């Protein structure tokens, strides 16, 4: 474990632990492997891999054009509830709330995309006539890098840059479609944007979220709905349907993820955000980093 990303290292932490992974049909499970560590060193800065050094071995050009463009803007901000002010992450001005007894996939399958509770989750829809879709992500937190993770698709990074990119402006920028990097997680530095190109061939409700666990827990999640008609055609196993009847009568269908709304912000909030909904200044962001 690279502890350079930590602001402090707990004395009791064992930063290096080992396990054994075996590939293939080996029958010899008794002897220890003899593989050795890589010789390259990891830098002491806490940043993503240098993408310019990464080239997909299995070449795959991106589609040269896209059928649809959607965008997600993420930012840290405040939520006031019952007189208390909470720190939350927002995606398109919506802080995700998980209604655990109202699963979105099954809801869309039976009721269509009108099922989506727009006050609980930010959503983007790629309809069934879309085969190539672009997802713009704008990281509005000027000094906070986030690792964005998309489920269900292996996206191609066809553009990135500083500042924000609107859906309209996306029509006039340059795209790299020649064997672009394919990933499922991408660090977008604070104040930057990226454009992810996907094949819209996998019907589902795919979450896009920050992979820092507590950012996710504080609402950093949106959904990409791929092929709503295809979702309606999914044959759900009975074991999934059975879950719908598993809610005890005394538990409300409006129950949110346990503890989700009651958790207090861990530090003095007034020190953290200078009253701005978006655009956290550097001083505040540094304080936030301490809690990664």
User: Which residues would be at the binding site for Cu ion (CB under 5 A)?
Assistant: 146, 210, 212, 215
Please state the closest distance from residue 63 (CB atom) to Cu ion, in A: 29
* Residues 107/99, Cβ–Cβ less than 8 Å: no
Q: Looking at residue 231, what DSSP letter applies?
A: H
Angle 147-280-224 from CA coordinates, rounded to 5° = 40
Please state the closest distance from residue 106 (CB atom) to Cu ion, in A: 28
* Residues 98/256, Cβ–Cβ less than 8 Å: yes
Nearer to Cu ion, 103 or 190 (CB): 190
| CA–CA separation, 245 and 232 (whole Å) | 20
| CA–CA separation, 141 and 286 (whole Å) | 12
Residues 6+ apart with CB under 8 A from 89: 74, 75, 76, 77, 95, 210, 215, 218, 219, 220
Please state the closest distance from residue 285 (CB atom) to Cu ion, in A: 11
Between the CA of residue 260 and those of 11, 116, 220, 264, what are the distances in Å?
Answer: 30, 19, 13, 10
Nearer to Cu ion, 126 or 155 (CB): 155
Nearer to Cu ion, 60 or 277 (CB): 277
Between the CA of residue 27 and those of 21, 34, 35, 71, what are the distances in Å?
Answer: 14, 16, 18, 50
Nearer to Cu ion, 186 or 198 (CB): 186
Please state the closest distance from residue 160 (CB atom) to Cu ion, in A: 17
Nearer to Cu ion, 215 or 227 (CB): 215
Nearer to Cu ion, 107 or 219 (CB): 219
Please state the closest distance from residue 74 (CB atom) to Cu ion, in A: 8
Please state the closest distance from residue 215 (CB atom) to Cu ion, in A: 3
Pairing type for strands 84-91 and 146-150 reads unpaired
Angle 59-60-64 from CA coordinates, rounded to 5° = 140
Burial of 92 (0-12, 13-18, 19+ CB in 10 A): middle
Please state the closest distance from residue 119 (CB atom) to Cu ion, in A: 22
Nearer to Cu ion, 66 or 139 (CB): 139
């Amino acid at each position: 474990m690279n502890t350079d990303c930590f602001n402090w290292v707990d004395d009791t932490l064992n930063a290096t632990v080992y396990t054994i992974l075996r590939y293939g049909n080996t029958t010899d499970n008794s002897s220890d492997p003899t593989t050795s560590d890589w010789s390259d060193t990891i830098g002491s800065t806490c940043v993503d891999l240098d993408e310019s050094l990464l080239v997909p071995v299995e070449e795959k050009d991106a589609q040269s054009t896209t059928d649809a463009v959607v965008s997600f803007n993420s930012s840290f901000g405040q939520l006031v509830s019952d007189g208390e002010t909470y720190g939350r992450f927002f995606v398109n001005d919506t802080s995700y709330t998980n209604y655990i007894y109202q699963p979105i996939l099954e809801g869309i399958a039976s009721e269509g995309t009108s099922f989506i509770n727009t006050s609980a989750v930010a959503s983007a829809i790629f309809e069934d006539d879309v085969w190539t879709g672009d997802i713009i992500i704008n990281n509005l937190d000027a000094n906070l890098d986030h690792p964005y993770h998309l489920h269900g698709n292996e996206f191609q990074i066809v553009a990135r840059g500083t500042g924000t990119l609107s859906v309209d402006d996306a029509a006039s920028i340059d795209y790299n479609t020649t064997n672009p990097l394919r990933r499922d997680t991408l660090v977008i530095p604070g104040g930057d944007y990226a454009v992810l190109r996907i094949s819209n061939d996998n019907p589902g409700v795919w979450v896009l979220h920050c992979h820092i666990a507590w950012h996710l827990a504080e609402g950093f999640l949106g959904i990409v709905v791929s092929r709503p008609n295809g979702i309606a055609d999914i044959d759900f196993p009975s074991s999934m349907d059975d879950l719908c009847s598993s809610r005890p009568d005394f538990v409300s269908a409006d129950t949110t993820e346990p503890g989700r709304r009651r958790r207090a912000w861990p530090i003095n909030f007034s020190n953290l955000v200078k009253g701005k909904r978006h655009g956290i200044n550097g001083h505040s962001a540094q304080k936030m980093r301490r809690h990664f």
